[in-house]
A and B are shown apart, each in its own frame.
Chain A
């Protein structure tokens, strides 16, 4: 591990300075230096998806991203997606479907769904299952998660008729829309 270096990161629309070795997995920086609880440690091997974050709107596994690789790219964590007051449509859909048992995998599921919607506004069932294929859930919450992802597609669509926001915070809209 090489010596610590100062980095400034663009996390959830704020600029954050951290000092750590460039090899440090971003996951630990987000959790320990920035006190973010969204991304979770599940395997450290890129296998489970618990640590997923958005980097420039694309889902990546922060356990395999070295701090030094991130540069000025925009990082969004579960916290930055939306807040309890201003939920992102995907978060809202997951809450409405109660798509969690223990909820440990939830971060990855929501991030993966948000990323899917960023690249495909109208995914079908196969596309949803494929996008979540490498996200593991041991509780067997798959049914509820799939339902939530379908609902998220509808919420996001309804929201787009109000305004278009790429992956940012949005007003609590489209609550009445059922998928």
Chain B
């Protein structure tokens, strides 16, 4: 399968030496293939269902090998591929083994019967003397001959219909079925040799990405397919490698030669959409589901429910709420499509190859026969994810560019758009009768439909975006107990959010209600919950199962909660639940029976629930592969525990908001419970589906255990710490609000234009605004400067980090054009390359020096103090001359930078004359005799060329650096806070000369974190400076907090880390959502034994405002190794911090920032202006 294509059916049909077992031989070549036996004696078996990661490939091969008496290794399974496998519908509801394996087994028996008959004929031995073992046919008399399958099929093409009378092997003779065969796929998967759909590469393949509309996760309503207003092709014109931008209705996609280019293009493409419509609040789904129009369907009505309800001695009416949840495949969906004149081939991870082919035919207006679906394995999906959607995406893009296209959905897209497991509301009316028995059970369940159409069909307008109602809320809606007065009603309703079936479909919520309610009845009746159930449970297999489980789990009967006590902050509890999962259209078929005993510990301080152990018993009928069944049970237990404790999709009023694993957390290894599985041996019974059953009792078993621990009934999921804590406390106290800390920065002071103008115009009268122009010159010849001068100039440029501001937008050195947002308007850096027209090539040295020291351009106009001439004023003549020489020898760039146009009155540059009169002190740097030369060199670099104060000093109303104690006490630059460099530094560990040195040299200091944003570029720009200069700067900077040097930095850092550990619990209480996002999105790098410094030491978390933190979260942070490379040093960390701008929304980032502050800077007041800071940061251009 090197080209990832299965041999098509036609090849089997035309092969000369071949035995085929088909559904109906009379259909000729159109017959469906089940078994093929070839010359090599190998058996190929075909099944329409696919392996969704459950190991079904192995189990089916076992069934075939068993029935045919061939070695297991001689069987190859082909699953789902439309060009050869039979159409057996979608792989759902755990029915592969229970239903679709049956014809396969019969086909294998047919083949065996035929092969034996042919052998008998060939060798003239009566059938009853022939034996078939290990794929070899012999006579039992010990004659000296044997026949392989290949010997028999050689020379003829035989095609037989499945013979429904072919004798099946009795189960008692099974050797392979019922034994645990190792999975056939794992060795390749463990060594990277397996080909998932994500790994399909075909010649000439291009890469596509889709751009999805803003109504993320909602797929019906008039706006669907009609929301696109415009696409700005120019927005991606600068990206080379884009092959096409495709738009059809609301379907938008890009195709590029390389994957990273497609990603960049999808990100940059400017698409304007109509505002999406608003939906009812689905975060609290009860109201929305009750308001959703529905049709009641009565499934059961026995006894006299109304009368019994009226007669209840203790009425108990309860409502249970299930949230929207995600399938959450670990690999976002992916597909490859190849559209050409011969038709369409798609490589797809679909769960439904045949139904999807129908959709593709509809989408592309082509006959189904021209479409070939090569079914490849994908990440587990537990229901339907975006696999079909992405296949259709790829098909559309391939058709547009007439080449094979691979489309990979992003994590955000899969999260937002995967059809969710629907929310559900269950109401139970009932109560106890006089004897403590259940008086009546009046059950109503509301389940929004789950038939999400394949997305591109509705985005392109091929099918109308109307919501079909399906009857799927009825799974396991009938309770397993013999309630005398029973009424069960399901309210069928259209979808709200885009939904599809998800493991356990509606059965898991329905059972949550059934099994919690019966527990409540038992508690109210004062009876042990298991005993109470057994009174009304009459199915003998169920009773056996429950008894086996309670024995295994050493269940101790009890009639009240709290019998297990607790210790410290923990309460212990134990809960029971049972279910037989009934799936398929009502009344449905039973899959395996399952029951749980869950042990929990509930922390009364934090509200956290630990599921410490799950004991699970399951009756699966015959188990084809017991290890496979055990793994399925484990998987169900762990996944459902995760769903119960943690999982809930968050919505805004228009779209899904959970777009990564921090916002939608899954269970992690430390939280996984101990598991004990009891598999009831029933090898003589028919096999039952095992893919979902063990999930079904989960929620009720855990909720019942929490009741047993705390006496509190939870009827809503997930059981998050905040929900539990609120219930434990009656009402959770408001988190302590810290007093707001205010530091004014130079733009947040509502700068009154009037006042500022008044101040400035007062000055104007005092200072002459006009400066003469200085004449132009010929650009000086490069060879008039000595190499030494140019080198000195290069170092001066490095110390001044000129290129950080004056770099061109495309990275060209000194080309200018970068935009800086100031409170007075946008200032653009000028072109300072030696181009005569656009740059400073025509400037004489006096003109250059005047600009550097006095802030006056060659033509006499004043520069804004974004250019730090107030610092440069003190520089050595020799340095400025060398800098001039260096600049003049650089490559000229003939491109004008945009002109700075400030709003009136700041546009009057002449006002700067007055400003200068106030703030420009043009004194040369003074050598301080009492200090050594290193210190003086450092001071010179920091205060003049280095112009550190330009960013690290707060500015006054007029944008001038403040003086006195404000000097180097921290300021703002380019949307970042530039922290204090002196004793006012806010980090928990004081800055030493060594720390400054590390930071300036490598961009990273162990106790302070990494240089990011503009500072990262400064570090990079200073790379040419010799170590001695960096040392000098470090020594000067360290002297700024002389007298307050850290006594012992490592003690300080240890203390800060200890404080952050201690603050773990309180921070989680302050921002539980923030904690979850931290754990899911950040903690992988920012905890434990990573080589990054702890966030507890990171200055940004200790800063007065959250600006720098927000910058990092929104825009990411470059890998320290990159910065270190440019500085010629080693820094081990090669990972960058990703940008979360597109992934986390504002409230998630705020929750996260609140948590981080409380956790890592516990001694600092909470940030109060995070929202404002977010506005500042998102507005800044950096």
What per-residue 1/0 map shows which CB atoms of B646-662 lie under 8 Å from chain A? 00000000000000111
Extra pairs beyond A43-B660, A44-B411, A104-B53 (4, CB < 8 Å): A69-B1121, A100-B189, A133-B1083, A141-B635
Residues of B with C-beta under 8 A to A164: none
Q: Which of B378-386, B551-559, B601-609 sits within the interface?
A: B378-386
Residues of A with C-beta under 8 A to B675: 143
Query: Would A94 and B661 count as touching, CB distance under 8 A?
Result: no
What is the minimal beta-carbon distance from B1060 to any residue of chain A, in angstroms? 18
Q: If A25-B260, A100-B189, A133-B668 touch, does A65 touch B1134 (CB 8 Å cutoff)?
A: yes
Q: Which A61-83 residues have C-beta < 8 A from chain B?
A: 61, 63-66, 68-71, 73, 77-79, 81-83
What per-residue 1/0 map shows which CB atoms of A118-145 lie under 8 Å from chain B? 0100000010111011111111111111
Q: If A28-B260, A41-B331 touch, does A64 touch B1138 (CB 8 Å cutoff)?
A: yes
Q: If A84-B193, A146-B669 touch, does A138 touch B639 (CB 8 Å cutoff)?
A: yes
A62 to B636, CA, bound (A): 30
Residues of A with C-beta under 8 A to B79: none
Residue in A37, A91, A98, A119 whose CB lies within 8 Å of B199: A37
Query: Would B1122 and A77 count as touching, CB distance under 8 A?
Result: no
Q: If A103-B194, A106-B189, A142-B672 touch, does A21 touch B811 (CB 8 Å cutoff)?
A: no
What is the minimal beta-carbon distance from A20 to any residue of chain B, in angstroms? 7
Interface of A is mostly: loop
A142 to B196, CA, bound (A): 21
Query: Would A47 and B264 count as touching, CB distance under 8 A?
Result: no
Query: Would B634 and A140 count as touching, CB distance under 8 A?
Result: yes
| In the assembled complex, A107 has its CB within 8 A of some CB on chain B | yes
A95 to B632, CA, bound (A): 17
Q: If A60-B1135, A144-B631 touch, does A138 touch B329 (CB 8 Å cutoff)?
A: yes
Q: If A44-B411, A146-B669 touch, does A83 touch B191 (CB 8 Å cutoff)?
A: yes
A87 to B53, CA, bound (A): 23
Residue in B195, B382, B670, B1089 whose CB lies within 8 Å of A37: B195
| In the assembled complex, A105 has its CB within 8 A of some CB on chain B | yes
A135 to B627, CA, bound (A): 24
A2 to B260, CA, bound (A): 11
A42 to B1137, CA, bound (A): 16
| In the assembled complex, B183 has its CB within 8 A of some CB on chain A | yes
| In the assembled complex, A110 has its CB within 8 A of some CB on chain B | yes
Q: Which residue of B lies closest to A108 (CB)?
A: B330
What is the minimal beta-carbon distance from A9 to any residue of chain B, in angstroms? 12
Query: Would B411 and A95 count as touching, CB distance under 8 A?
Result: no
A130 to B670, CA, bound (A): 7
Residues of A with C-beta under 8 A to B1089: 119
Q: Which A14-45 residues have C-beta < 8 A from chain B?
A: 20-21, 23-25, 28, 31-32, 35-38, 40-45
Query: Would B1136 and A66 count as touching, CB distance under 8 A?
Result: yes
Query: Would A37 and B192 count as touching, CB distance under 8 A?
Result: yes
A36 to B1083, CA, bound (A): 28
Q: If A45-B1138, A79-B191 touch, does A103 touch B186 (CB 8 Å cutoff)?
A: yes
Number of A-B contacts (CB under 8 A): 238
Query: Would A102 and B198 count as touching, CB distance under 8 A?
Result: no
Query: Would B1081 and A47 count as touching, CB distance under 8 A?
Result: yes
Q: Which residue of A lies closest to B640 (CB)?
A: A140
Query: Would A104 and B183 count as touching, CB distance under 8 A?
Result: no
Q: What are 14 pairs between A and B in contact, CB < 8 Å?
A: A1-B264, A37-B192, A46-B1137, A60-B1134, A66-B1136, A79-B191, A81-B191, A94-B190, A100-B185, A103-B190, A130-B1088, A133-B669, A136-B661, A143-B634
A67 to B1139, CA, bound (A): 17
A115 to B642, CA, bound (A): 27
A24 to B186, CA, bound (A): 31
| In the assembled complex, A117 has its CB within 8 A of some CB on chain B | no
Residues of A with C-beta under 8 A to B642: 140
What is the minimal beta-carbon distance from B181 to any residue of chain A, in angstroms? 10
Q: Which B1114-1137 residues have C-beta < 8 A from chain A?
A: 1118-1119, 1121-1122, 1125, 1132, 1134-1137
Query: Would B811 and A50 count as touching, CB distance under 8 A?
Result: no
| In the assembled complex, B55 has its CB within 8 A of some CB on chain A | yes
Residue in A47, A64, A110, A142 whose CB lies within 8 Å of B638: A142
Residues of A with C-beta under 8 A to B638: 140, 142-143
Query: Would A101 and B193 count as touching, CB distance under 8 A?
Result: no
Quick one: which of A91, A94, A138 has the most chain B CB within 10 A?
Answer: A138
Quick one: which of B192, B642, B667, B1122 has the most chain A CB within 10 A?
Answer: B192
Q: Which residue of B lies closest to A50 (CB)?
A: B330
